[in-house]
A and B are shown apart, each in its own frame.
Chain A
């Protein structure tokens, strides 16, 4: 994947892009991206993967005016236009899935399909969620990973002083977008009938940040949505089960998309 910077309506956005095939916009979650996500490489065997750092995350600039997932949604609809994409598959994980849904209820004119991976956005009452902000680092790794992969992942963020800073920056950016209400927009659910593109829900089964019950709820709220569960996987399918994750995305888009 090649990193570059684009300027969208005055905002400097850091974008990784690579691979061949139909364009696929990957919207990351609360943990951001550091370039060592094997799931994105796997997707790039089948798609032209476009993976930006959200404003305030990673190497993208801060924005005064992009304050929540709704703002991010309008912003990414602008990004799609800016990149001249007429038809794009949107894959979003965690906060990225939330943004994908916020985009889809506004306009699917240029969206071909949606994949929601351990997606934020709604609240399923009575289902306890683990808090990824208040917990210790050890506990966070146990929430994000079903297996022992957390240590390796954390090490990838400790590789350079710059990445260490970006790790903290991403935590702050995630809090900015999702602190309260935590990881959802109370109004989103009432508009999900507007999602009129093929939608697939992929879920790391062991996720405690956004548990499996959320996958079930999203499936029932989005017309025609299909769902797949990834065992041995928690919150970060593109990191913990990259091949299975990429297979699910590829299979869905090949079979279900227009």
Chain B
């Protein structure tokens, strides 16, 4: 299995009493809450943490994109990925993801990714996302056409990376007379493309399509939802498209915290993980799902499922119980990962090793302990240990 350390780069110095005055840490939270001097410290610290993970043997390190919020300070993950490019030697640099379709000109991002791929000698993984609903308020893009624009931006970028230019791109949302991207990406035909999502049916079906077979990366969710979506990818490949999905096409992203004992891990993680879920991820329904962002069918499902990740108060115990996070001694976490792998067979794992207000010392301890006590066993997992769909049915 390939194991990545993922960072959200939260604004950990946020005055959490903001919640008494503002309904979200997104869109409407004034940027006066951001102190650039603290931001300077945080960015450099967070980059150090990712670099440490690369040194300690993680297969890759990963960043992502969010706009106008305190949850994640990377409106451009290209900036952080670039900073990491020259400070690492062999780790993959995974941008999971970049919202190409939020741009009026997605080729600017395609060019930047090609640059990083050349600079790193082919260590880039490109994640393509729509962006969460809040992004559509912040960037002013119409949420009702987000799927169509996402797919067209993807087509444009892949063509730009693979077709000899210049050529004209004649889309519905994008029209360009000259598509001729310099540099071309180092990896041929193009960097691996992943599709991170919180579980959109449309995205899973799109990613699983035989012409793409992209890695579907499930963002952190209750483990029952993770299982449903990852299995849906396999089922979709089989029944809709008639091929057997490789386990390399499947990934799971989850917060991870290890410490000497289960008890100690809970105690140390508690305040910081609760900040992530209860404060930084504070997003009212209207903000996370702007009108038309979800299809009518998905919206109905969403309303009936309620919201399991945002919108309710979480505790470290409820998060562990629902399998939204992995938290415990190395033995506990290793066993959970091996059990989950036996059930779901994912060959890519993204570990969020810093979350909320988790400070530098605990984050570093977490990375080091995980790298020495958990990582080797997990990296060794292959399809041999995956029980397959039969096991799932039995359980």
Interface residues on A, range: 10 to 19
A168 at the interface (CB under 8 A from B): yes
* Given A168-B296, A172-B291, A172-B296; A134-B137 close (CB under 8 Å): yes
B287 pairs with A174, CB closer than 8 A: no
> In residues 160-204 of chain B, which contact A (Cβ within 8 Å)?
none
A82 at the interface (CB under 8 A from B): no
- Closest CB in chain A relative to B161 CB, distance in Å: 29
A3 at the interface (CB under 8 A from B): no
Q: B residues engaging A (CB < 8 A)?
A: 23, 27-28, 136-137, 140-145, 284, 286-287, 290-292, 296, 299-300
CA distance A134 to B22 in the complex (A): 13
A180 pairs with B142, CB closer than 8 A: yes
What sequence of 0s and 1s flags, for each residue 175-188 of chain A, a beta carbon within 8 Å of any chain B beta carbon? Answer: 11001100000000
B27 pairs with A179, CB closer than 8 A: no
B291 pairs with A175, CB closer than 8 A: yes
B290 pairs with A176, CB closer than 8 A: no
On chain B, the residues within 8 Å of A137 by CB distance are 286
Residue of A nearest to B285 (CB): A136
On chain B, the residues within 8 Å of A180 by CB distance are 140-142
- Closest CB in chain B relative to A70 CB, distance in Å: 15
> In residues 100-145 of chain A, which contact B (Cβ within 8 Å)?
133-137
A169 pairs with B296, CB closer than 8 A: yes
On chain A, the residues within 8 Å of B286 by CB distance are 133-137
CA distance A176 to B146 in the complex (A): 11
- List 8 A–B pairs whose Cβ atoms lie within 8 Å, in order of A's numbering: A134-B27, A168-B296, A171-B291, A171-B292, A172-B291, A175-B142, A176-B142, A176-B145
B284 pairs with A172, CB closer than 8 A: no
* Given A134-B27, A136-B23, A136-B286; A179-B296 close (CB under 8 Å): no
Residue of B27, B136, B141, B292 near A172 (CB, 8 A) is B292
On chain B, the residues within 8 Å of A179 by CB distance are 136, 140, 142-144
Query: Secondary structure at chain A's binding surface: helix, strand, loop or mixed?
Result: helix
Q: A residues engaging B (CB < 8 A)?
A: 133-137, 165, 168-169, 171-176, 179-180
- Closest CB in chain A relative to B288 CB, distance in Å: 11
CA distance A180 to B300 in the complex (A): 25
On chain A, the residues within 8 Å of B136 by CB distance are 179
With A134-B287, A174-B291 already in contact, 7 other A-B pairs whose C-beta atoms are closer than 8 Å: A133-B137, A134-B286, A168-B296, A172-B296, A173-B144, A175-B142, A179-B136
- Closest CB in chain B relative to A62 CB, distance in Å: 10
CA distance A170 to B27 in the complex (A): 23
CA distance A174 to B142 in the complex (A): 11
- 4 tightest A-B contacts by CB? A172-B292, A171-B291, A175-B291, A176-B144
B292 pairs with A136, CB closer than 8 A: no
CA distance A136 to B143 in the complex (A): 18
Which residue among B28, B137, B144, B290 has the maximum number of chain A CB atoms within 10 Å of its CB? B144
CA distance A179 to B141 in the complex (A): 8
- Closest CB in chain B relative to A67 CB, distance in Å: 8
A175 pairs with B23, CB closer than 8 A: no
Residue of B nearest to A174 (CB): B291
On chain B, the residues within 8 Å of A171 by CB distance are 291-292
CA distance A172 to B289 in the complex (A): 11
A172 pairs with B137, CB closer than 8 A: no
A175 pairs with B143, CB closer than 8 A: yes
On chain A, the residues within 8 Å of B137 by CB distance are 133-134
A134 pairs with B291, CB closer than 8 A: no
- Closest CB in chain B relative to A126 CB, distance in Å: 19
* Given A133-B290, A136-B23; A172-B144 close (CB under 8 Å): yes
B142 pairs with A136, CB closer than 8 A: no
Residue of A nearest to B23 (CB): A136
B141 pairs with A175, CB closer than 8 A: no
On chain A, the residues within 8 Å of B27 by CB distance are 134
On chain B, the residues within 8 Å of A134 by CB distance are 27-28, 137, 286-287, 290
CA distance A134 to B145 in the complex (A): 17
CA distance A180 to B143 in the complex (A): 10
CA distance A130 to B304 in the complex (A): 29
Residue of B142, B143, B296 near A165 (CB, 8 A) is B296
- Closest CB in chain B relative to A60 CB, distance in Å: 14
CA distance A133 to B28 in the complex (A): 13
A175 pairs with B144, CB closer than 8 A: yes
On chain A, the residues within 8 Å of B291 by CB distance are 133, 168, 171-172, 174-175
On chain A, the residues within 8 Å of B142 by CB distance are 175-176, 179-180
CA distance A168 to B293 in the complex (A): 11
Residue of B nearest to A135 (CB): B286
On chain B, the residues within 8 Å of A165 by CB distance are 296, 300
On chain A, the residues within 8 Å of B141 by CB distance are 180
* Given A175-B144, A176-B144; A168-B299 close (CB under 8 Å): yes
Residue of A nearest to B290 (CB): A133
On chain A, the residues within 8 Å of B290 by CB distance are 133-134, 175
CA distance A24 to B7 in the complex (A): 59
- Closest CB in chain B relative to A110 CB, distance in Å: 31
- Closest CB in chain A relative to B151 CB, distance in Å: 15
- Closest CB in chain B relative to A74 CB, distance in Å: 19
- Closest CB in chain B relative to A15 CB, distance in Å: 22
CA distance A163 to B188 in the complex (A): 52
CA distance A90 to B312 in the complex (A): 47
- Closest CB in chain A relative to B292 CB, distance in Å: 4
Residue of A nearest to B172 (CB): A64
Residue of B28, B140, B292 near A176 (CB, 8 A) is B292
- Closest CB in chain A relative to B322 CB, distance in Å: 26
On chain B, the residues within 8 Å of A133 by CB distance are 137, 286, 290-291
On chain A, the residues within 8 Å of B300 by CB distance are 165
On chain B, the residues within 8 Å of A173 by CB distance are 144, 292
On chain B, the residues within 8 Å of A176 by CB distance are 142, 144-145, 292
Which residue among B27, B145, B292, B299 has the maximum number of chain A CB atoms within 10 Å of its CB? B292
Which residue among A134, A135, A137 has the maximum number of chain B CB atoms within 10 Å of its CB? A134
